[in-house]
Structure 1
Amino acid sequence: MKSRIVKFGLVTAILISSVAVQSTAFAKTQICHQATDKEIAGLFDRWNQSLKTGDPDKVVANYAPHSVLLPTVSNKPRLTPEEQKDYFEHFLKNKPVGQIDFRDIMIDCNTAIDTGLYTFTYGDGSKVKARYTFTYKWNGKQWLITTHHSSKMPEPD
């Protein structure tokens, strides 16, 4: 009888230890990068400056490797860096420069959302007014775009 109690006690101790190790293995301590509205607003400026270079690789460098671009002047979602580059190769031919008309920024632990209205002015002087949402994720070194949705305004001025 004594050996059964010892065995039961040993099995119980092993199970409890196993659960504790698994809990520790799955527990993830997250350190939140402190961000300000000004810092998040600056991410649009960074993106806009990369547009001005005319280099699609510099624009795509703002996006996380796993990100979604729902572009302003294309019906096709761009899910890979290659597809995003393809979009910007065509979009940059118009020499776009963006200007924020209205924005709202929301910040959480290592994520941020910048949403609002912007206007693109093209090299020929034409303009496109659009709605936008950028979502960002802190990757431990920098903020990268995880989703970017941009759509032309549905109503005329």
Structure 2
Amino acid sequence: MKIAYYCLPLALFSITTLPLQAAAQSCQQATKQQALDLFEQWNDSLKSGDPQQVARLYQEDALLLPTVSKKPRLTEQERVDYFSQFLADKPSGKLDTHYFDAACNTATLAGLYTFDFAATGKQVAARYSFTYRWDGQQWLISHHHSSLLPSG
């Protein structure tokens, strides 16, 4: 009984300070236009041909499930390795459809896109989802999934 007596004030203090802690954290709400601009920033980084520039748009712990690789890319170096190969064909993406959703410090852009590969002349349709997370200073990709569009 004495334990409960001494712990109760601490528990009440913790509960009453939760709203203060939550208020101290910043909540960024992305707009649809911001998410579309983030895609264009990513697409422009592809056109640069620099895999490091592309990889810098991802959070350190981001998950990349790439279009033309079976291997999930979990580290910056793995993403750089993937983009080194992917950029060799000089890709450029175009959103065909997009769906947007946002919450506090997170935003998702998903739909269908088409890649044109200048080096080969190929065109590839794919599904995509980008999840962006606010890191306190900027929006970065926390999850990116891209897969070839199935026929039919």
TM-score norm. by structure 2 comes to: 0.88
Q: Distance in 2 between matches of 1:22 and 1:34?
A: 27
- Select which of 57, 64, 78 maps to 1:62: 57
Against the structure 1 CA distance between its residues 73 and 11, is the aligned structure 2 distance closer, same or farther, given a 3 Å change threshold? closer
Q: 1:11 to 1:101 in 2, by over 3 A?
A: closer
Identify the match of residue 9 of structure 2 among 5, 17, 34. 17
- The correspondence for 1:94, drawn from 89, 98, 105, is 89
**In the alignment, does 2:150 pair up with 1:154?**
yes
Q: What is the root-mean-square deviation of aligned Cα atoms in Å?
A: 2.0
Q: Aligned pair 1:142/2:138, yes or no? A: yes
Displacement over 3 Å in runs of 4+: 20-28
Greater C-alpha Rg: 1
Larger displacement relative to structure 2 (119-128 or 18-27): 18-27
1:117-150 Cα deviation digits (max 9, x unpaired): 0011011321111000001111111111111000
Between the aligned partners of 2:13 and 2:76, the Cα distance in structure 1 is 38
Partners of 2:26 and 2:136 within 8 A in 1: no
- Give the percent of matched residue pairs that are identical in Structure 1 and Structure 2: 46
Matched residues, number? 147
Whole-angstrom CA distance in 2 between matches of 1:59 and 1:24 = 44
Q: Where does the alignment leave 5 or more consecutive residues of structure 2 unmatched?
A: none
Which consecutive residues of structure 1, in runs of 5 or more, have no partner in the other structure?
1-7
Separation in 1, partners of 2:16, 2:55 = 37
Deviations 1:65-122 (A, max 9, x none): 1110000001111111111111001001111000101111111111111000001101
- When structure 1 is superposed on structure 2, of 29-38 and 69-78 the one drifting more is 29-38
Distance 2:82 2:41 in 1: 18
- Structure-2 change in CA distance of 1:11 and 1:104 (3 Å): closer
| Distance (Å, rounded) in 2 between the aligned partners of 1:130 and 1:92 | 16
Q: 1:52 aligns with which of 41, 47, 54?
A: 47
Post-superposition CA distance 1:22-67 (Å, at most 9, x none): 4467664143213211011111001001111111111011101111
CA distance in 1 between partners of 2:4 and 2:127 (Å): 61
In the TM superposition, what is the alpha-carbon distance from 1:21 to its structure 2 partner? Answer: 4.3
Q: Tell me the distance in 1 between the aligned counterparts of 2:128 and 2:89.
A: 19
